[in-house]
Structure 1
């Protein structure tokens, strides 16, 4: 029997994130997805090619539970906690997305025009994945962490560099959404 439930509201999930952050701060640990990528690359032998990957990955292996939790949590959320409702988008946003070629804006979790197998295996899709991946990788390395690390761990521990990075992430997102994305589609 498959029960469809509403996603957890902010007043449940927010305090849970705060409790996890309190534990991480207490134990002197930081949270972020990009550090997991570094750990996985080191485990797979990247330390033979770059000094950046030369570190004791076993000290950071605990953080790989974040990857497992994201995968398991995503599966549980989409299969058991989703209520199959359409995303409530602003009518202006829907019109703008339709002008870019997105026919069913908000109907799915991600737009099928970008994320179906045909789209991601096309020349344009492969180029977008490669260029986007390189830019995200460079940005993460340059900023000293990813959006989740800076926005959750950095801001909760009142780090000024994280505040600057998060402001930069938002500015970059606005530029991408309003200027670059319309050129691509």
Structure 2
């Protein structure tokens, strides 16, 4: 059975339309690191993660964040292809620890660094590169370039050095 893969430009148009629609409906740029940070702030009681008017646990950005895995689950359920939970990471399996525990610890540490960096930068890659880039916000354009250059550099270090 063949798997249908949509062209990349369809995804680009979809993301662009989502960014505009989100801003139009919510009156604020899209981004999920604030919702995640607020959730972490309530779990560990650190004010560092809570920001601005989104100090309440029930906020639009948290619902946006929760919608990401729920949307993925709905998409998987609607697919004609069978799906299953898997911890294979494709090409990253060659550089990550092979045990489940080692992989989970490594990825959790990386996620914590990503969260700290997103809070330090004022937004995640979604907030800066997609939304800030679409709004031609100069700090967001610089942050997006730094994010992608860092990712390319880290990939080069992991696979070619």
Same fold (TM over 0.5): yes
Say how many residue pairs are matched: 154
Q: How does 1:39-54 map to 2 (within 5 A)?
A: 39-44=38-43, 46=45, 49-53=46-50
Of 13, 35, 45, which aligns to 1:15? 13
Q: What's 1:71 paired with?
A: 69
Shift >6 Å, 4+ stretches: none
- Distance in 2 between residues matched to 1:77 and 1:43, nearest whole Å: 30
Q: Whose RCO is larger (CA < 8 A, sep 6+)?
A: 1
Return the offset for 1:44: 3.6
Q: What's 1:103 paired with?
A: none
Return the offset for 1:21: 1.6
- Distance in 2 between residues matched to 1:9 and 1:23, nearest whole Å: 22
TM-score, scaled relative to structure 1? 0.63
Rg comparison, structure with higher value: 1
Of 89, 92, 100, which aligns to 1:120? 100
More divergent stretch after superposition (130-139 vs 51-60): 51-60
Return the offset for 1:45: 6.0
Question: Any unmatched runs of 5+ in structure 2?
Answer: none
* RMSD of aligned residue pairs (Cα, Å): 3.6
Structure 1 residues 10 and 109, CA, compared in 2 at 3 Å: closer, same or farther?
A: farther
Return the offset for 1:16: 2.9
TM-score, scaled relative to structure 2? 0.71
Structure 1 residues 127 and 41, CA, compared in 2 at 3 Å: closer, same or farther?
A: closer
Q: How does 1:96-107 map to 2 (within 5 A)?
A: none
Question: Any unmatched runs of 5+ in structure 1?
Answer: 85-107
